[in-house]
Structure 1
């Protein structure tokens, strides 16, 4: 008998097809030109019924490529002699991608199936892409030009809160040094596309009076296990990212100036802002937060910003997928292809206070801020920038 639309087996088949598609999209849009290992594994997992079955045994919102790959990477730290570790430079491997990668991955997952299942059921996605501080600095400079003076800083979805140390890092953007902290051991680099060779991209960082983060599962950097889990989200080939992350962690631990509170950005952001001392404007930064929220949750987050802005000036600085920005709080995204370029991130700022609102698009960027293209005007549609397939 054919399965009806409400049959559990039929629903499961739909979810498996969606999961296959999710891994293929992840490989094509997130991994291409960034991680040959994860690009190949994304295609391989999409075709592996056993691995898909493992993922289907976990809660629906835990079935994420990044979570599976991080769980495997974490377990590789305890099994550096495995065939799979040979493909991971972050684990000391030097073998290039070949036709034995996927069998090694499947065998490793089968050997560690119980441990993987536990991590996939209980682990939360935890990434601190320190390069995204370039987006935050763009936003802070934009806010500084309109609201001169000190600012308070909040990050929603802050993980370990390392982006809150934005003024403690050194920067090289478009080949130009733009140091916030001259002696910092952490150097963040970013290529510039479409800008003038002599254009200064990053302005000075305003004084930050307080810095707070909020996350459903804050990372306790004093916990070695939590640090190892955070490092597991660094991709196999990204030795430079791992070095930057470790440097930022050491800074955060030694400075002890960052606080990340447990909470939900969609219900607790206004409360957190209300607890901040002073009356100076507050910059709320998000990077990839919207990709974890459905339409109703994005509306709830926008309502939190409006509620907070009724009491003191609030600026939302974001690095998010254009299509998600376009469906959040009426932010203006030019019509046309920009809203569909979700393999890129839109950097922008929305200033709210005293019944006034000022929105501006600042740049289009690689999701991991390997490069950015500065906006040529405040509502740029970036049609002048080559399509995603051509930008790398």
Structure 2
């Protein structure tokens, strides 16, 4: 087991996250992560919370856990003074006004904060569906047959409803059957096969720690990880959670490798099975990732025209680019599709983790 991180490594993570948040359009989170880094160096309440953190702070998204705790305290109304200063209530917010209140809240509630920090952030970013959509449309056009969906690392399962969302960009649109609308800055050619209509016959999903959005408390926790100065994302997750409750979305609590093995063994004798996931592969250990890929390849080797298999994902580009990373930004994410029989591969597009813009690979 690697040694625990040093304070310097933890501070570096907070400062790096500040840059990421700024690049993803959140001045609030950029400034919050920066002042939390300063607080660690000054020995403040954040320093007390992260002291002795045992594992990689970047992998654990430690800064986002604390930011989520603060937002959760605001959304529940527990931190009334802080809530009054947050962007939802004060459009002229400043971090100079917010941070002293946040410091006081963290100092007053260390036990509650530590309990909250035990669980990793789960944003279930609904906009990632638009990054997966070109792959689903390609599959629907190629295989006009019932489609059986298997989602890994599904969190609350909001993206199981991707075919019910509406999609709108400056260059193309696709109407849906729900009030969830996905928008992004689309900088490449429109997806092929916009006329295709996927025939979703079954949906299943798993997560080690699924969130049940029918429970108001857990739904509020999910929302707390959405950044407070991004009202469009907050409104979208509200709409997506309402749709999930309406359609009865269910996510199995299970290890991804065990779950996928059982699902592949029991998949229907006819129809297209699609294994899909988004921003998931960096979380399982390397041996679990390898097991997932190996069993997918093995199932693909047995695929037939009447029983095809596809693997569709939106993941960090490093997973799919090989040793030569020339031209690949560390923050690039790639939509990747592999189809059997045949094992044909496609790299469909690239984006950032929140899919704020989409470009060609």
Structure 2 residues not aligned, in runs of 5+? none
Shift, 1:53, TM fit: 3.3
Query: Is the contact made by 2:21 and 2:27 (CA closer than 8 Å) also made in structure 1?
Result: no
* Partner residue of 1:255 out of 247, 257, 282: 247
Q: Establish whether residue 138 from structure 1 lines up as the match of residue 134 from structure 2.
A: yes
Task: Tell me, in whole angstroms, the C-alpha distance in 1 between the residues paired with 2:332 and 2:84.
Answer: 31
Higher RCO, Cα 8 Å, sep 6+: 2
Query: Is the contact made by 2:147 and 2:274 (CA closer than 8 Å) also made in structure 1?
Result: yes
Task: Tell me, in whole angstroms, the C-alpha distance in 2 between the residues paired with 1:105 and 1:201.
Answer: 48
Task: Tell me, in whole angstroms, the C-alpha distance in 1 between the residues paired with 2:123 and 2:345.
Answer: 27
Q: Establish whether residue 97 from structure 1 lines up as the match of residue 83 from structure 2.
A: no
Q: Establish whether residue 210 from structure 1 lines up as the match of residue 207 from structure 2.
A: no
TM-score, L = length of structure 1: 0.81
Q: Specify the alignment match of 2:37 in structure 1.
A: 46
Q: What CA RMSD, in Å, does the superposition of the two structures yield over aligned residues?
A: 2.6
Task: Tell me, in whole angstroms, the C-alpha distance in 1 between the residues paired with 2:77 and 2:52.
Answer: 25
- The aligned length equals 349
Query: Is the contact made by 2:300 and 2:343 (CA closer than 8 Å) also made in structure 1?
Result: no
Q: Specify the alignment match of 2:74 in structure 1.
A: 76
* Partner residue of 1:361 out of 332, 347, 358: 347
Q: Establish whether residue 187 from structure 1 lines up as the match of residue 177 from structure 2.
A: no
Task: Tell me, in whole angstroms, the C-alpha distance in 1 between the residues paired with 2:61 and 2:173.
Answer: 40
Shift, 1:167, TM fit: 1.2
Q: Deviations over 1:212-260 (max 9, x none)?
A: 111001111221111111111111012111211111111121222x321
Task: Tell me, in whole angstroms, the C-alpha distance in 2 between the residues paired with 1:154 and 1:115.
Answer: 35
Query: Is the contact made by 1:151 and 1:283 (CA closer than 8 Å) also made in structure 2?
Result: yes
Secondary structure of the residue that 1:151 maps to in structure 2?
strand
TM-score, L = length of structure 2: 0.87
Shift, 1:125, TM fit: 2.4
Structure 1 residues not aligned, in runs of 5+? 1-5, 327-331, 381-392
Q: Establish whether residue 336 from structure 1 lines up as the match of residue 326 from structure 2.
A: yes
Query: Is the contact made by 2:278 and 2:315 (CA closer than 8 Å) also made in structure 1?
Result: yes
